[in-house]
Chain A
Amino acid sequence: MIHSLFLVNSSGDIFLEKHWKSVVSRSVCDYFFEAQERASEPENVPPVIPTPHHYLISVLRHRIYFVAVIQSEVPPLFVIEFLHRVVDTFQDYFGVCTEAAIKDNVVVVYELLEEMLDNGFPLATESNILKELIKPPTILRTVVNTITGSTNVGEQLPTGQLSVVPWRRTGVKYTNNEAYFDVVEEIDAIIDKSGSTITAEIQGVIDACVKLTGMPDLTLSFMNPRLLDDVSFHPCVRFKRWEAERILSFIPPDGNFRLLSYHVSSQNLVAIPVYVKHNITFREGSSQGRFELTLGPKQTMGKGVEAVLVSSQLPRGVLNTNLNPTQGTYTFDPVTKLLSWDVGKINPQKLPSLKGSMSLQAGASKPDENPTINIQFKIQQSALSGLKVNRLDMYGEKYKPFKGIKYMTKAGKFQIATR
């Protein structure tokens, strides 16, 4: 399956390589570099590149390309999914997944990669199993190891590896037993210039942080499970129970995990929480353009819209801007032509606006496209779809856990066309 892995940084240097079968020369990456040169943006490098003897499958995350070398037929998603899992694991272990972090922890990285694949086939990808095999580096542990000579490497086969609940280790103990669930919804929308919605959909996830002793068996039920149109589960969720009763029944992994991701059925009309009034004009022959933007809340169920960030890629002809925000700060990068306005919280009494002029390249013709406006925002304590957790129960253990549920709505890919 996966033959070798190369890690390439944004300047095109291979800074780590690992081989699971016989060694593949790093010159194989030349084909990748060629593709990289052809691509205008880093994201445009095709994920699958055939070469005469190998196939290169790559993912780009945190500005690092993870390039896997494949020699024969394998489902490409298998490799892609695995590479993303590697990145997630690194992030889990080192907090960040940057070139510096990987270089600093190169030995742990190597040990991890060794455990994750055997002969190119995934062996242990569950984070709790890996953490029993190789303990994540912390400053304290490094000090202790230096003094006592103990190691970061587990000597016993992790219990999860053999059990039917590989995601949970046995013998978990906490003094405070707590279970927190975050219902986070993202709204994706494309709004046209007149303010009407072209598409809008809501995707949500339930992220959990469960710190419970022993082998708790949790059930979580919703007030309105009908809202959930399509779902995907963490392997711990019992699918049959969901099918029959629409109840999430599961033995949770220890720590943080994503319990569920869902899609809200498209029959429900999506309430768009913000509106934008815009007036962006370029006049033919003039070196000035007008720019006006006003934001306002709409259908937010009484909750405030926070952390609003507006960004827009202005046309190439724009040299500079001279704008006045009523609140927040705005920046314009004359090189990338990226305008971004950090609005903060929207006050419904005094709507934030950004007005002013743009100076255009003299003599250049009027840009034929008006910019697209991307908006990010957050609404606390509310799930836009109206999804509500009914109750959370625990079986199998005797103590009383502390339970908490939080709701939040965020903008996903929220675009407004001004043309």
Chain B
Amino acid sequence: MSTNNLSYNDQGGSDSAVEVGQETTPTSSNAGAGFGLFSTNFKKNDDLKEMLESNKDSLKLDAMKRIIALIAKGKNASELFPAVVKNVASKNIELKKLVYVYLVRYAEEQQDLALLSISTFQRALKDPNQLIRASALRVLSSIRVPIIVPIMMLAIKEAASDMSPYVRKTSAHAIQKLYSLDPDQKEHLIEVIDKLLKDKSTLVAGSVVMAFEEVCPDRIDLIHKNYRKLCNLLVDVEEWGQVVIITMLTRYARTQFTSPWKEDGLFDENSETAFYESDEKKTKNGDEKKSYMMDPDHRLLLRNTKPLLQSRNTAVVVSVAQLYWHLAPKHEVGVITKSLVRLLRSHREVQYVVLQNIATMSIQRKGMFEPYMKSFYVRSTDATHIKSLKLEILTSLANEANISTILREFQTYVKSQDKQFAAGTIQAIGRCATNISEVTDTCLQGLVLLLSNRDETVVAESVVVIKKLLQTQPTQHSDIIKHMAKLFDNIAVPMARASILWLMGEYCERVPQIAPDVLRKMAKSFTSEEDIVKLQTVNLAAKLYLTNSKQTKLLTQYILNLGKYDQNYDIRDRTRFIRQLIVPNEKSGALGKYARRILLAPKPAPVLESTYKDRDRYQLGTLSHTINTKASGYLELSDWPAVAPDQSVRNVEVIEPVKEWAPSLGKTGKSKLSKSSDDKFYSDSGEEKEKGSGSSSSEDSSSEGLICMCTFYKDHVGQLSTNLFLRSYLLPIVCGPGERLHGFVSKQVPVSLSLFSLCILTPCPLSCAALLLQVSGPAFVPEKSHDLLHRMTGKGLSAQYQFPRQPCLYQPTMVSVQISLTNTTDHPLEQIHIGDRDPTGLDMHCFNAIECLLPEASVTVSLGVDFNDSTQAANFQLCTKEDQFSVSIQPAVGELFLPATMTEQDFRKEQGKLLGMNESSATITMAAENTTRQPISRQVATVANLGVVPSGQDNIHRFAGKTASSGALVLVTVELRELSAALITINTEKSVMGPMLLRDLKRALARA
């Protein structure tokens, strides 16, 4: 218990022990304790080493867990490297994994020692277990040791053509690692990327695109051929891969397609109208502007990404949203709104990023988010940065129609206890006031009211905003300026005081009585003011001096004198400058004449605009967009090309199942072609049936004729039905007429049934029985079939297998397996065939590829597998044109036999040879109904494909067979004893199969 229940806290001793050896002690550790326990700690450190060098896995594992805990805490455990690396080849998989973790962490620091582990990984790369291969590659490529670059390169190349898609995925990850270790390998790596881009597995797609983005994002040419495949796979790719692929395809599309936006190109400034009118315009200009036709590939991308807006992964939703934003025609962008608004329900951090993107969008397209305005209302529980983003968006959404609602909402925000937020609201009101001229006055009045607010920040912010607003229309508002002058004494915030002073100076002619008075007050308090206020005081003094020198001359001089000796050099400089400028003396040159024009020049009003105004220069959803600076590795989104590059580069030779994307283009040649090929298939099978029934009606049709027909079909039709046909034809040869045949061919295949009936009618024609002298037909063929591929895992392709218990046609040592394939999808599946097999796997004879399997159709094919007389599963891949599925056939031991006929005498003789080690037996209690010959034979035959040996005694039943692969004899005796007890004896030289068969028989016979 204590060993596994290892907690952080009781590690104190060993932690500090390791620290001793390290130069920089992390600040968080308790130095005093470490020092006090110096000697004992050192021992504990040794103890770790000792544990690692012991023979016991549990001790080692324990030590490794403690070491991992150290690493997790950020403590240095590098000095244990030699002891740890020895365990890299451990059999214990958890120990091995922890060693891997350690190795990856410290290999960079201990390069020489790390090399010791390399050979282990090289060996593991050949392991039959794909998980081990993959994790070996993962670790090997994570060890950042430059010497092993060639080894890594080799491993990556090999893994890129591994049969397991998981290993291929790992190799795609390894590409990036190798690239960051040694960028000189770029060219070689691009080759691997090119190869992996062609991979059809959804598992690999995301990872390889990631590698592409990191290693060679400029090699757009590699994408062309894979573009349509990526679009079609997209929905099935795992969610993280989707994000990467969508981002990449966005960039790709911007270089390959022409702009779907209107002639005037980029977004209009007054987007509002553009949005509202876009539909109208489209219909109006529809006829004239037919010149723009969206590339079908462009449409394919838009169509295939749209469902992903419903993804539960917020990153996927936003990546689709940005794709639509950057690629879709303007009137289609609206579909993303709902999904983005939905994300506002998610975690705070997600809200933050989504709101940022909405903020950028809402500036250009108010209409998109206006119906959802209420979703952006601020809640008192929102975090500050969320609140300010919502304010930003509400401000952008404001227009003549909704401004009153928004302002009412803003009024409540101003009263918020969060004063920073209240200040933000005041700025927002200011922006609304400048943008919408109808409400400027209302806003100003509201802001003036706020000037009497008790909170200083609110007042200060109001002053600043009013100052900006007044600048836009100063003429009518001298009373506001007067009001502010009155408030001046009560305002302490420097920025607000400075703003008022500036206003006084700027519009001093409108308030001729008040301004000098304010200056007088300032002169009094000048020394105690903040710098910014002092600067504005100097400005005010200068402006008043120019306009009203009679009243303010002395005051100005006083202030200038104070400023001259100020501590701050800015103020001293300003004072000196102003004095030279305004006070005429002998030294002042031509500049003095222009003083009035310099200081009292009409100043343009500040434009209050969103900070998100120009964020759209970055691709939405990117890190660069979030931080509003270019992040390293940011890839620019190019502008649309004026003329689309060659479209044909994306054409792939093989017909892709993407015909439906271009219905507007009418029926293309391609789709017609496929249609006709479908027809052909139908007509063929019809013909086949006809022929079949035709021949069955003519009873005298000879077997030779049938064989001819077989070859005819094989040559001319070349479809899998040939296989079927051939097998059903040969059936009578093996079984002989009159044998029990039902369940042999699955009933849902009409073709095979009709052929089958034909076969029964055909008398056994060939004398090949002589060849099979030893082997008889099966006593019983169980109908039980096993799932090979469930229709769910097989994307609609379902496969079942059963053992027909026939000698295999292809090779006598093989066991024949019958597979029935059914297409449960609504589209034809093409090219069903067997792909890669397990490298260590068994010898197999595959069926011919099935060209096409129509929806709802099934077909039965047969395989031969040499199981080598073991129950090891045959693993292989069942492939269709698009997919591949790993499947395995697991035979029961009884299926590995062929029934044999022999006399009782021979049986006894053979049994005599197979005693001792070769005999296994057990006594069981039989189920009551199993005590007679018939049921016993049936039960035994169900379990194992054995032949019945005629027996003279009523209580002894004998069965014989031989193993398919090596032909070893298997003899089974069931001897009934009193009280329904029975002795089962099995004699065979296959000492593994014997007990297995015994177990199965026991179970079958004991069962009721």
Contact = CB atoms under 8 A, between A and B. Distances in A.
A269 interface: no
Q: Chain B interface secondary structure, helix, strand, loop or mixed?
A: helix
Interface in B119-171: 129-131, 134, 138, 141-142, 144, 164-166, 170
Given A106-B68, A164-B202, A235-B311, A413 B379 contact: yes
Interface string A114-149: 100011011101000000000000000011011001
B701 interface: no
Given A40-B384, A76-B626, A162-B165, A18 B4 contact: no
A251 interface: yes
A316 interface: yes
A84 B315 CA distance: 12
A105 to B, nearest CB: 9
A47 interface: yes
Nearest to B64: A107
Interface in B289-327: 307, 310-315, 317-319
Given A80-B349, A415-B379, A72 B631 contact: yes
Interface string B26-53: 1010000000000000000000000000
A155 B131 contact: yes
Contact of B73 (A15, A76, A198, A315): A15
A191 B326 CA distance: 38
A153 B135 CA distance: 13
B379 A165 contact: no
A72 B349 contact: no
Interface centre among A162, A165, A229 (most CB of B within 10 A): A162
A233 interface: yes
Interface stretch (A288-296, A368-376, A403-411): A368-376
Nearest to B376: A199
A21 B180 contact: yes
Contact of B129 (A23, A70, A80, A156): A156
Contacts of A155: 93, 129, 131
A143 B2 CA distance: 10
Q: Which of A71, A151, A316 has its CB near the most chain B CB atoms (within 10 A)?
A: A151
B644 interface: no
A234 B313 CA distance: 9
Given A47-B353, A230-B338, A419-B412, A215 B381 contact: no
Contact of B792 (A16, A17, A217): A217
B352 interface: yes
Contact of B307 (A48, A239, A258): A239
A80 B353 contact: yes
A215 B383 contact: no
B347 A17 contact: no
Contact of B130 (A82, A157, A166): A157
Given A21-B180, A162-B203, A164-B793, A72 B173 contact: no
Contact of B166 (A104, A111, A162): A162
A235 B354 CA distance: 21
Interface string A228-268: 01111111000110010000000100000010010100000
Contact of B312 (A13, A170, A233): A233
B882 to A, nearest CB: 11
Contact of B310 (A119, A121, A170, A231): A231
Most A CB within 10 A of own CB, among B73, B347, B627:
B347
Nearest to B1: A146
Contact of A18 (B72, B173, B415): B72
Interface in A386-419: 396, 413, 415, 417, 419
A165 to B, nearest CB: 6
Interface string B340-359: 01100101111011100000
A121 B74 contact: no
B970 interface: no
Query: Interface size class for chain B?
Result: 35 or more
B330 interface: no
Contacts of A413: 379, 381
A41 interface: yes
A163 interface: yes
B633 interface: yes
Contact of B108 (A22, A73, A81): A22
A19 interface: yes
Contacts of B101: 110-111, 114
Contact of B131 (A26, A57, A156): A156
Given A73-B632, A151-B94, A163-B793, A190 B72 contact: no
B691 interface: no
Nearest to A366: B454
A145 B379 contact: no
Nearest to A47: B349
A16 B412 CA distance: 43
Contact of A107 (B69, B381, B412): B69
* Most chain A C-beta atoms within 10 Å of own C-beta, residue among B314, B417, B453: B417
Contacts of B314: 77, 80-81
Nearest to B309: A232
A334 interface: no
B793 A121 contact: no
Nearest to B246: A75
Given A73-B623, A104-B8, A114-B97, A162 B886 contact: yes
A103 interface: yes
A16 B72 contact: yes
B347 A215 contact: no
Nearest to B172: A121
A235 B3 CA distance: 40
B858 interface: no
Contacts of A48: 352-353, 623, 626-627
Contacts of A118: 138, 170, 173
Nearest to A156: B131
A199 B203 CA distance: 44
Contacts of B698: none
Interface of A: 1, 13-19, 21-23, 26, 39-41, 43-44, 46-48, 50, 55, 57-61, 70-78, 80-82, 84, 103-104, 106-107, 109-111, 114, 118-119, 121-123, 125, 142-143, 145-146, 149, 151-153, 155-157, 161-166, 170, 190, 198-199, 201, 203, 215, 217, 229-235, 239-240, 243, 251, 258, 261, 263, 313, 315-316, 365, 368-369, 372, 374, 396, 413, 415, 417, 419
Given A80-B350, A396-B792, 5 more contacts: A19-B105, A43-B383, A73-B631, A217-B792, A263-B338
Those 7 A-B pairs whose CB atoms lie nearest each other, nearest first: A72-B633, A151-B94, A103-B8, A157-B131, A47-B349, A199-B374, A77-B315
6 contacts: A16-B73, A50-B627, A153-B93, A156-B131, A258-B312, A415-B379
